[in-house]
Amino acid sequence: MLQLTTFRATHKKTMTPDQATSVDLALRHARVRENAQALATFGGMSTTSYVLWSSLPPTWSATAGAVAFGVRGFVFGTQAI
C-alpha cells in the first residue's frame, strides 16, 4: 500500500484519468485486504479481552485497569529510552 500511495503522490500530475482510476482502485483493494488481515489477526483477541473484562467484578476491573495502565506506561517509558 505504501508503494501505491507513493506512486500516486509522485506521478499525480502525469497520470491519465484511466491510470489515476486504476491506481485508486488498486489502493482501495489494498486497504480492504489490509483491514481484513487486521481483523483476522486482532478480532479474536478483542472478543477474548471483552469477555475477560466483563466477567470481573467492578472493583477488580478498576484495579486491573490501573495495573494495565501502569505496565503500559512502564513499557512505553522503557522503549522511549
Q: pLDDT tens digits, residue range 30-50?
A: 999 988 888 887 777 767 777
- At residue 60 the predicted structure's pLDDT band, cuts being 50, 70 and 90, is confident
Domain containing 21: what range?
Answer: 2-80
Domain count, the chain: 1
d(CA 73, CA 79): 10
Q: Are the beta carbons of 16 and 23 closer than 8 angstroms?
A: no
Q: Does the predicted TM-score (pTM) go above 0.85? A: no
Angle of helix 2-11 relative to helix 17-55, nearest 10 degrees, comes to 150
